[in-house]
Amino acid sequence: MGRPPCCNKDGVKKGPWTPEEDIILVSYIQEHGPGNWRAVPNNTDLLRCSKSCRLRWTNYLRPGIKRGNFTDQEEKLIVHLQALLGNRWAAIASYLPERTDNDIKNHWNTHLKKKLEPGCANRPPSSRGSISKGQWERCLQTDIHMAKRALCEALSVDEEPIEPREAKSLDCADAPPPPAPTTYPSSAENISRLLEGWMKSAPRKCGTAAPASSESVQSESASSQGSASESACNNASPNSLSLLESWLLEENEGQGGGNFLEYMAILDDACDLF
DNA sequence: AAACAAGACAACCGCATAAGC
DNA sequence: TGCTTATGCGGTTGTCTTGTT
């Protein structure tokens, strides 16, 4: 179908969000909860379309979002998940609950893709057009061992980089963090301040502390879309990753198979996306 | 110090699909 | 059952920041 009618309306504001707009949006969600985005511009003074509101919330304002540097481990995980799943950023993001799909996509396009391009060893299964659902599911099942090894690499912080040529580029986790941006839209601290008051009064869903800073928060998902954030909420930690880690840990200790079925379930979830 | 280039990231656009009627 | 609308997702663009000359 076409675009939502709201985006065709005249007078819909575009461009960067202002602090005032953020506050309005956060206040509304505080009161009504996320979801029903259509109602947001109607019930507030926001001159934004519903999509814009949803994106602003999910990509920037939502509690539990980790911003800033991607760790070496996160980068490896993204690289391997991208190799497995292709450019299905929402699916990849579900394995990194503190990161948004947009964030992962941006990081991939600006950092990781360039690092991998020379060899193209981690070619994704191109696009959804070139492979059928059934084929892809079979591929995924057939390549389960490859996936396991890849994730093993991804979760092993001490291991060598995936490819020798990445050695230089993937070591940014040790680099000092870049200076915090100072302008409003880029400042996580501003958002933290913005949310601080709200989080103090917001009902605790996960029993985690309110985010004093966006770097330290646990995911308190109020997101409507969120298998990712909901799962993070339920476990107070990225459960998928924990399962993988524990499974791989057992595997490495020669007790493999214990959590394999659970991991298969995770991969089944990934398959459900096709 | 100014101009330019490159990088980084927030936001938008359009398509696909689920949901409701 | 088909149509309309809302939402989610991925690709792309625009803008701001930072680095270099």
CA-to-CA distance for A100 and A155, rounded, in angstroms? 20
Tell whether A50 and A82 lie within a shared domain: no
Q: Are residues A92 and A168 in the same domain?
A: yes
User: Is residue A97, in this structure, part of any structural domain at all?
Assistant: yes
Task: Specify the CATH number for the domain of residue A36.
Answer: 1.10.10.60
pLDDT value of residue A149: 56
Note the strand C nucleotides within 7 A of protein beta carbons. 4-12, 15-19
> Looking at strand B, which nucleotides approach a protein CB closer than 7 A?
7-18
**A141 and A17 co-located in one domain:** no
Count of the separate structural domains present in chain A: 2
SS3 at position A122 = coil
Residue span of the structural domain in which A35 resides: 5-61
Choose one of A61, A82, A108: the last residue of a domain: A61
Is the Cβ atom of A203 within 7 Å of strand C at any atom? no
Backbone angles phi, psi at A6, to 5 degrees: -60, -30
Distance A261 CA to C2 C1' (A): 41
**A200 within a domain of the structure (yes/no):** no
Residue A178 lies in a domain: no
In the three-class reduction of DSSP (H, G, I as helix; E, B as strand; rest coil), residue A94 is classed as coil
Q: Flag whether A209 is in a domain.
A: no
pLDDT of residue A117: 60
- Return the sign of the alpha-carbon dihedral for residues A140, A223, A51, A185: negative
| Residue labelled with tokens 């059928």 | A132
What's the CA–C1' distance between A74 and C7, in Å? 28
pLDDT tens, position by position, A34-46: 778 888 887 888 8
Choose the weakest-confidence range: A135-144, A159-168, A256-265: A159-168
Cβ(A214)–Cβ(A189) below 8 Å = yes
Residues A14 and A118 grouped into a single domain: no
* A88 CB-to-strand C distance under 7 Å: yes
A260/B11 CA-to-C1' distance in Å: 40
Are A42 and A78 part of one and the same domain? no
Residues A154 and A264 in one domain: yes
Please indicate, yes or no, whether residues A133 and A38 belong to a single structural domain of this protein. Answer: no
Do A135 and A51 have their domain in common? no
Q: Is residue A242 part of a domain?
A: no
- Report which residue is nearest nucleotide C14 when distances run from CA to C1': A15
Residue A226 lies in a domain: no
A44/A153 same-domain check:
no
Residue A121, classified by CB atoms within 10 Å of its CB into exposed (0-12), middle (13-18) or buried (19+), is exposed
Residues A265 and A130 both lie in one domain? yes
Contact present, A23 and A179 (Cβ < 8 Å): no
Kindly report, residue by residue over A198-252, the tens digit of the pLDDT: 443 333 333 333 333 333 333 333 333 333 333 333 333 334 444 444 443 433 4
Is A132 near strand B, with its CB below 7 A from some atom of it?
no
Lookup: nucleotide whose C1' is closest to A94 CA: C9
Q: What pLDDT, on a 0 to 100 scale, did the predictor assign at position A97?
A: 77
pLDDT value of residue A165: 32
